[in-house]
Amino acid sequence: EAQVTQNPRYLITVTGKKLTVTCSQNMNHEYMSWYRQDPGLGLRQIYYSMNVEVTDKGDVPEGYKVSRKEKRNFPLILESPSPNQTSLYFCASSLRPEVHNEQFFGPGTRLTVL
């Protein structure tokens, strides 16, 4: 089944404790992206990747890191999480962004930073 998977789905952590949210897609998509969703703000793009070893900042990259060592995986790293990073996080992928291609979204990861 074609899908984007994220792990964990739920995470409660404390300030400053490094964490990684994994994202994997099995559709051979080139483009992958991370978003955070906050009430009243919609989704905001954190980072995106056009292909392996190619990553770029979205609108809200501060406090986050990403890597794209393999085409299928695009982990999101919070080196020193803070309470303002409490949010719902989505990973998404698509074939190529510049043509008509919808983004396929993962199920979301709800992160709470205490």
Q: How far is the CB of 11 from another protein (least distance, A)?
A: 15
CB–CB of 49/64 below 8 Å?
no
State how far the Cα of 56 lies from the Cα of 66, in Å rounded to an integer: 9
Minimum distance from residue 25 beta carbon to another protein (Å): 14
CB of 105 to another protein, least distance (A): 4
Contact footprint for another protein (CB under 8 A): 31, 33, 35, 40-45, 48, 50, 56, 58-59, 88, 90, 92, 97-98, 100, 102-105, 107-108
- One DSSP character per residue, 62-101 reads TT-EE--SSTTB--EEESS--GGG-EEEEEEEES-TTSS-
Name the residue nearer to another protein (CB basis): 17 or 64.
64
Residue 91 or 113: which CB sits closer to another protein? 91
Number of other residues whose CB lies within 10 A of the CB of residue 33: 24
